[in-house]
Amino acid sequence: MRVLVLEDDPELGLVVAAQLRDAGFAVDLARTLAEADLKLSVNGYDCVVADRSVPDGDSLTLLAAQRRAGSVLPFLLLTALDAVSDRVAGFEHGADDYLVKPFAFVELVLRVRALCRREQPARPPVLRAGDLEVDLPRRRVSRAGVLLSLSAKEFAVLEVLMLRAGEVVTRSELIESCWDEASEPMSNVVDVLIGQLRRRLGPPDVIRTVRGVGYFLNAGAGAGAGGEA
């Protein structure tokens, strides 16, 4: 899942981005309304976390413009403005959630995750493919009943593959969903991550490679699936 963070405070912006990345999100940063508007026009996001007050105005104007254009992209507003009238104004402009500074990062992560999932098709809380099981709410992965330790990025890639089990997911789609602008799309970042994930999951290999295209997860995982297609 990919998130855009609009925050003009460089230090806070980096901390928010780091916390969200640690939780498995791909995060892009913007410091002005103009920069955020440009990023929204060229990238696909699952959620926007926006500070109300930035150098070139109030993020409510960006939110209102998105809503007028028909966008239902979830917006979470961060602000030091804690009056009831301020919160009401945010919701009247189409905000989905509101978090007053100072805030707990664990709460921010949970709220962002909830907003990201709100617009996605209904899905079971636990995904299964053969003997592989992914518990989305608890962020746990097990195979043949054995709990596995995955990094946040490995979990994010596995989640995409599990949600589309049996379908080919291109490298570009994985980058769009699981990496941000700080990544290098032309590098072998996806291939390296898939290799790490395969080692974590162990044999038999459940991730199939479609050369020159991408990968897919064998819906019959654990039933003797091969590696390369």
Asked which of 67, 96, 118 is the last residue of a domain, the reply is 118
At residue 175 the predicted structure's pLDDT band, cuts being 50, 70 and 90, is confident
- Whether omega before 185 lies within 30 degrees of 0, making that bond cis, reads no
| 38 beta partners | none
At residue 75 the predicted structure's pLDDT band, cuts being 50, 70 and 90, is very high
Residue 21 lies inside a defined structural domain of this protein:
yes
At residue 228 the predicted structure's pLDDT band, cuts being 50, 70 and 90, is very low
Asked which of 91, 118, 145 is the last residue of a domain, the reply is 118
Q: How many domains does the chain have?
A: 2
95 in the same domain as 145 = no
Residue 157 has pLDDT above 70, yes or no: yes
Domain hosting residue 146, numbered range: 126-217
| 94 beta partners | none
Using alpha carbons, select from 23, 25, 22 the residue that is nearest to residue 5: 25
The pLDDT of residue 93: 87
**Mean pLDDT computed over every residue of the chain:** 86
Residue 162 has pLDDT above 70, yes or no: yes
Residue 189 lies inside a defined structural domain of this protein:
yes
Residue 203 lies inside a defined structural domain of this protein:
yes
134 in the same domain as 103 = no
pTM tops 0.75, yes or no: no
pLDDT in tens, 23-40: 888 899 999 999 999 999
Please give the average per-residue pLDDT across 99-110, as a whole number. Answer: 90
Buried b / exposed e across 181-200, counting CB within 10 Å, b at 16+?
eeeeeeeebbeebbeebbeb
Say how far apart CA 177 and CA 159 lie, in whole Å: 10
Task: Look at strands 169-170 and 214-217 and give their pairing.
Answer: antiparallel
113 in the same domain as 8 = yes
154 in the same domain as 107 = no
Residue 222 lies inside a defined structural domain of this protein:
no
Asked which of 65, 89, 118 is the last residue of a domain, the reply is 118
134 in the same domain as 212 = yes
The pLDDT of residue 229: 40
